Structure 1
């Protein structure tokens, strides 16, 4: 894609990966941009959305630690909590897709608009950082204890932070591999999820109820409280063929995997609010 020089505006040119004949240099340049994006998104979460970090693990004796971002009301909000879980790869807390941030917009590829909307609706918010698993010092990889893998990271966050939240109603939004991770956690902490989690929204999740050998009680629970918005060329919210015993699939209204969370934005929050009202009504009976 090339822009007419006469109509170019500052900041509107698309990202250009091929800036050199040296492929290694191009890749290094791309990764440097990615690291800058990570720092910028962290800054937005702290300065624009007034979130703060909680360490993973919380023991300050560990030199190398990861962290999550939370809103200031995370331990005092007694009503609603939204937990955001990105997919695998290079993305870090606050990002859905680095490639979308680079090639489309921060709005479409980051969690910023989701956090803003959640806060408007009265949710406390917790943003996981499941891919932050190690540090490299002097060419040596140092694994972060308590966050050595996405599973260990979320496990720590659930046991040490979500459990301590006073929110009676917990919702989860998980993209791609994050969906597989959540299914595993529901299996592990089923009684807690059943008691507190009123809605789980997946966006093009890569989980498999059959492949992960999910128990019937977990499968039934997930089918009751969850929807998976999947990549599709069908209009948004159109029913997509769903395998037996799987979570209901609806079209995300976009064929690109990385765009499914942003393209489903309004549907996701409608789903959360509908499920929340249902949960409140059930509680009052």
Structure 2
């Protein structure tokens, strides 16, 4: 049985340290409108930056402004509504820009009752499969950090650069959606009550049936906890086929499941520090090797470690 990782204490610690209040979403989210980012007055420019729409329908130089009112609740609600629209937009980009398709979770879910993951064409026939796992909170499939998408740019905050690079290398790609676990009315979606349950269902239903002899995992923040759960629940297949695990500021140490020697052998964690990229960081014997992500902010680590992650993955794959 999966360990009970969603205690109030754990959630409080994670949400305080790793999910800014503007990025934090309750387990039972309130219903959101289906407005697009354009209907909310915004558009992404050619550099992937979110900007207000001008009278001519083109992006201006004016970025997103959180403070639209003297009432904080109104500002927060506007941010959440925009965040919901951004999620839909990123789903659209996954399907149109990098040509991924959706697979239902659970497999036989009725429309709008379950969730979904994204996969590349012939993902199940490729020799190498890259699995991307985001962190906890408001982010959904294809996102590392919603705040970066809104305040910086698409490349910084999404998994799209990873997907493009993986496709260039002829990897299969699978993008998990571990936070999409509840309906808008607060009822639990089938087979996806927790991030860990979602990932284990996906592995058992989809990953286990792929031809991949080599699986590589890139996981951010709470995605590390999810990966540890996968290693425990799917131990035989996991240790047979997983060749590399790249964590970006993972919080796997919150898991109640001890790290195995196998995990320590194939994984590396790029952590948030002010040290230059790839600088070795003191690591306890019981932990996964830590190196600097080259940036002090947690949410930036997936972006800044990008090249180093792929170098590590290639090095690990050549060992097999």
TM-score relative to the length of structure 1: 0.89
Q: 1:60 to 1:213 in 2, by over 3 A?
A: closer
Match of 1:128 among 173, 176, 194: 176
Please say if 1:55 is aligned against 2:71. no
- Of the three residues 41, 48, 63, the one matched with 2:90 is 41
Shift of 1:212: 2.4
- Residue 14 of structure 1 and its aligned partner are, at CA, apart by 3.1
Count residues in correspondence.
263
In 2, are the aligned partners of 1:170 and 1:199 still within 8 Å (CA)? yes
Conserved in 2, the CA contact under 8 Å of 1:92 and 1:129? yes
Once residues 112 and 138 of structure 2 are traced to their aligned partners in structure 1, the CA distance between those partners, rounded to angstroms, is 22
Correspondence list, 1:150-229, <5 A: 150-208=195-253, 212-214=256-258, 219-229=260-270
Could you tell me which runs of 5 or more consecutive residues in structure 2 were left unpaired when the two chains were aligned. Answer: 1-57
C-alpha distance in structure 2 between counterparts of 1:157 and 1:223, whole Å: 23
Within the candidate set 309, 315, 319, 1:268 is matched to 309
| Secondary structure in 2 matching 1:142 | coil
Distance 1:12 1:101 in 2: 16
Q: Is the 8 A contact 1:219 1:246 kept in 2?
A: no
Output the CA distance in 1 between the equivalents of 2:257 and 2:214. Answer: 27
State the alpha-carbon separation in 2 of the partners of residues 14 and 89 from structure 1.
23
Kindly indicate whether residue 146 of structure 2 is the aligned counterpart of residue 98 of structure 1.
yes
Question: How far 1:48 sits from its partner (Å)?
Answer: 1.1
1:6 counterpart residue number: none
Q: Report deviation, 1:223.
A: 1.2
Which residue of 1 is the match for residue 137 of structure 2?
89
Q: Distance in 1 between matches of 2:141 and 2:128?
A: 20
CA drift of 1:58 comes to 0.7
Say whether the 8 Å CA contact 2:278–2:291 is kept in structure 1.
yes
Q: Does 1:108 align with 2:152?
A: no
Instruction: Please list the CA deviations of residues 161-182 of structure 1 after superposition, one character each: whole Å capped at 9, or x if unmatched.
Output: 1001111110000000000110
TM-fit CA distance, 1:63: 5.7
Whether contact under 8 Å (1:231, 1:260) holds in the other structure is yes
State the 1:263 CA deviation.
0.4
**Unaligned 5+ residue runs, structure 1?**
1-8, 280-285
Change in 2 beyond 3 A, CA 1:11/1:223: farther
Cα RMSD (Å): 1.5
Q: CA deviation at 1:25?
A: 1.1
